[in-house]
Amino acid sequence: MMKMNWKKKMAAAVALSSALVLAACGNGGETASSEESMTASKDAVKIGILQIMEHESLSAARIGFLEVLKEAGYVEGDNLIVDYQNAQGDQANLQSMAERLAGNNDIILSISTPASQAVANAEKENPVLFTAVTDPIDAGLVESAEKPGANITGTSDQGPLKEQIDLLLSVAANAKTVGIIYNSSEMNSVLQGDQAKQLLEAKGVNVEVMTVTSTNDVQQVMESLVQKVDAIYIPTDNTLASTMATVGKIAMEAKIPVIPGSTEMVDGGGLATYGIDFKELGRQTGKMALQILQDGKSPSEIPVEYPTTLNLVVNEEFAKALGIDPASIKLPESSNK
């Protein structure tokens, strides 16, 4: 398949977007329809997006990314075409979807580590940006954070684990055993789970680790876990993030506090966290896309970025169900903010 000259297309698209920016009336971050694709300019910028599954954190990152492009004058149906692919949690879909996007887009956005690895394997020439990847070096996506080295760079979702564990232990001050639950096949989750375990054990707390392999396992494993622990920590795990309503219901009934890795997971069914705002992480990634589109930079020239927006978020309903005053949940002053 012949690769497009993306730098030439970028220049044409920038000129076109400048003329259209005042008339911008995009559709608010949703993917372009086939009708919009047919009416778009022949010089329109083409963005491919591969997302591993549907849940609030990953979708927020996608929305934030497209929001930045819209603000810069890239309007779907006019000078922007978006090809959005969602694997719906099926690993088998990732490679075929990545191959569909490769060679046909000016930039590909990959959301999650598995999606990013699939895209990196399929697209070797045109720019690729990743987001929601905890350790892009260990995942084999970049040579280093400072010098990515190839056609791929992006944003990491490495959260403030120490602060999250401090928050958990301040909420569950008498906890003797803390549970950690994640999908054992997600590299990001294994890394964060191991780090959280080390931090908890260093505080003299016993740790009970239980894993799942799919969303089908979550209810049974959670029902078992709440019988063994006094509190639960959940990494930014895609499988758990997509089932937080189930997690929250079981934990609330058992009166077990849950501290997850992202703010969206709190909204879905956690008690509280000091964590990443994935929409803002997506916006960071969108600004990196503008460096490619407007400044002509190569991904190899753009260092990997880490979260710049961290928020303390509390689920008031969950707190009240546990008999906790929501206003009392605060990040301990001893934490390094």
What is the DSSP code string of 31-75?
Answer: PPPHHHHHHS-TT-EEEEEEESS--HHHHHHHHHHHHHHHHTT--
Q: Do residues 154 and 178 touch, judged by C-beta distance below 8 A?
A: no
Q: What is the dihedral of CA 54, 60, 64, 67, to 10 degrees?
A: 70
pTM of structure = 0.82
Strand, helix or coil at 262? strand
pLDDT for position 26: 35
pLDDT for position 91: 85
Tokens of 91: 């690993």
From first to last of its 337 residues, the chain has per-residue pLDDT tens of 334 444 444 444 444 444 333 333 333 333 444 445 556 778 899 999 999 999 899 999 999 999 999 999 999 999 999 999 999 988 889 999 999 999 999 999 999 999 999 999 999 999 999 999 999 999 999 999 999 999 999 999 998 999 999 999 999 999 999 999 999 999 989 999 999 999 999 999 999 999 999 999 999 999 999 999 999 999 999 999 999 999 999 999 999 999 999 999 999 999 999 998 999 999 999 999 999 999 999 999 999 999 998 999 999 999 999 999 999 999 997 765 4
Amino acid letter, 314? V
CA atoms within 13 A on the CB side of 326: 13
CA 103 to chain centre: 24
- Domain 6-157+278-308: which CATH class? alpha beta
CA distance 41 to 20: 11
pLDDT for position 37: 57
Selection from 230, 279, 238, 245 nearest residue 261 by Cα: 238
The enclosing H or E element of 187 equals helix 187-202
208, exposed or middle or buried, with CB in 10 Å at 0-12, 13-18, 19+? middle
CA distance 332 to 1: 55
Strand, helix or coil at 276? strand
Query: What's the start-to-end Cα distance of the chain, in Å?
Result: 48
The enclosing H or E element of 321 equals helix 316-321
- Domain 161-276+311-328: which CATH class? alpha beta
Selection from 224, 256, 223, 261 nearest residue 239 by Cα: 261
Selection from 220, 221, 269 nearest residue 242 by Cα: 269
Across the chain, which distance is largest between two alpha carbons, in Å?
A: 63
CA distance 278 to 59: 8
Which part of the chain is CATH 3.40.50.2300? Answer: 6-157+278-308, 161-276+311-328
CA distance 24 to 71: 8
Amino acid letter, 78? D
CA distance 72 to 70: 5
The enclosing H or E element of 312 equals strand 310-314
CA distance 169 to 233: 10
